């Protein structure tokens, strides 16, 4: 009986695994076409300076509108792109599109707006990464200081010596460097002082349950305190509610990103917000 059950379980899993493998293969095939067919596009999420209420930067986030399946989230297609190596052309497209958009905003009179672009491990470790970034900056005419590259802890911790060299190469070119999803990996702030990093992004998962979750509150507090003493800029991700904002503000977190302020949106939609200059009135941020 046990044997039979075992076999059934095995068959069940194998059928499910086949279906999944097939879905992945389908996605891989259509992702190859997606770039050429123009199915990928970028949305941009504002990053705010709390004191002034001004938008200091925007994070570019990739979207894929599949002709039959509709909108596919990056959690689904980025890992496939990474596994298959498609992340290289995809990442280059993201970088070029984001830099061109930032340059266009600058030309339209939005001064000093920084564009943040997510970089995957495969891109960062590619021998031609630096040249690609430089070429794109040249082509688009964007000031390197207005480009921020977001890297996760695991990317820079994978091969520390190589990572420090690549980061230094980027830094001497004046490119801004951020650690994304900070706190979820295996690095520590004291370790990060060896990296030429400009800022850290406090991971959404620690922001989600502050101020009520005592552990998360302690972690966020510790990150803010240490970032302060190491002279790193800090931005909190995933700020959705006023109580989160209040907690962060009290502990001198100056920059924030999250649905509370603005969702990621197409470039055309942001133009309207830029014309007002503020994402929210500063007064409205402080009250209560």
- Binding site residues, ligand C2E, CB under 6 A: 45, 61-62, 73-75, 78, 91, 94, 118, 120, 150, 180-181, 204, 237-240, 257-259, 264
List Cα–Cα distances, 252 to 42, 178, 213, 220, in angstroms: 31, 19, 19, 11
The distance of closest approach from Cβ of residue 65 to Mg ion in the complex, given in angstroms and rounded to an integer, is 21
The residues facing 124 across adjacent strands are none
Q: Examine residue 118 and tell whether it contacts Mg ion (CB under 5 A).
A: yes
DSSP codes of every residue in 155-211: HHHHTHHHHHHHHHHHHHTT-EEEEEEETSSS--HHHHTTS---EEEE-HHHHTTTT
Q: Which does 94 bind (CB under 5 to 8 A by kind): Mg ion, ligand C2E, none?
A: ligand C2E
Among the listed ranges 30-38, 104-112, 137-145, 149-157, the one in contact with Mg ion (CB under 5 A) is: 149-157
Binders in 163-182 for Mg ion, by CB under 5 A: 180-181
| Binding residue for Mg ion, selected from 92, 148, 150, 255, defined by CB under 5 A | 150
Q: Which does 115 bind (CB under 5 to 8 A by kind): ligand C2E, Mg ion, none?
A: none
Specify burial of residue 60 (Cβ count, 10 A radius: 0-12, 13-18, 19+): buried
Q: Examine residue 92 and tell whether it contacts Mg ion (CB under 5 A).
A: no
171: tokens are 């830094």
The distance of closest approach from Cβ of residue 117 to ligand C2E in the complex, given in angstroms and rounded to an integer, is 7
Between vectors from CA 58 to CA 56 and to CA 59, what angle results, nearest 5°?
A: 140
Specify burial of residue 272 (Cβ count, 10 A radius: 0-12, 13-18, 19+): exposed
Give 30 or 206: the residue with its C-beta nearer to Mg ion: 206
The distance of closest approach from Cβ of residue 59 to ligand C2E in the complex, given in angstroms and rounded to an integer, is 6
The residue ranges that bind Mg ion (CB under 5 A) are 118, 150, 180-181, 237
């Amino acid at each position: 009986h046990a044997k039979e059950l075992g076999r059934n379980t095995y068959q069940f899993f194998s059928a499910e695994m086949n279906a999944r493998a097939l879905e992945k293969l389908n996605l891989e095939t259509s992702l190859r076409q997606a770039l050429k067919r123009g199915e990928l596009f970028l949305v941009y999420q504002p990053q705010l300076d709390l004191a002034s209420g001004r938008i200091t930067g925007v994070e570019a986030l990739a979207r894929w509108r599949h002709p039959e399946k509709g909108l596919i989230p990056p959690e689904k297609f980025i890992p496939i792109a990474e596994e298959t190596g498609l992340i290289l052309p995809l990442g280059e497209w993201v970088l070029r599109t984001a830099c061109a958009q930032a340059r266009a905003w600058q030309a339209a009179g939005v001064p000093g707006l920084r564009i943040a672009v997510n970089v995957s491990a495969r891109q960062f470790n590619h021998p031609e990464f630096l040249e690609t970034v430089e070429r794109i900056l040249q082509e688009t005419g964007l000031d390197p200081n207005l480009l921020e590259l977001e890297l996760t802890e695991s990317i820079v911790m994978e091969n520390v010596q190589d990572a420090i060299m690549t980061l230094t190469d980027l830094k001497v070119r004046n490119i801004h460097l951020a650690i994304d999803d900070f706190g979820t990996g295996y690095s520590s702030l004291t370790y990060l002082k060896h990296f030429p990093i400009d800022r850290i992004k406090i991971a959404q998962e620690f922001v989600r349950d502050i101020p009520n979750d005592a552990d998360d509150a302690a972690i966020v507090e510790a990150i803010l305190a240490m970032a302060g003493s190491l002279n790193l800029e800090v931005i909190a991700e995933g700020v959705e509610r006023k109580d989160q904002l209040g907690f962060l503000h009290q502990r001198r977190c100056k920059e924030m990103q999250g649905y509370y302020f603005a969702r990621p949106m197409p470039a055309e939609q942001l133009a309207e917000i830029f014309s007002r200059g503020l994402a929210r009135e500063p007064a409205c941020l402080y009250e209560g």
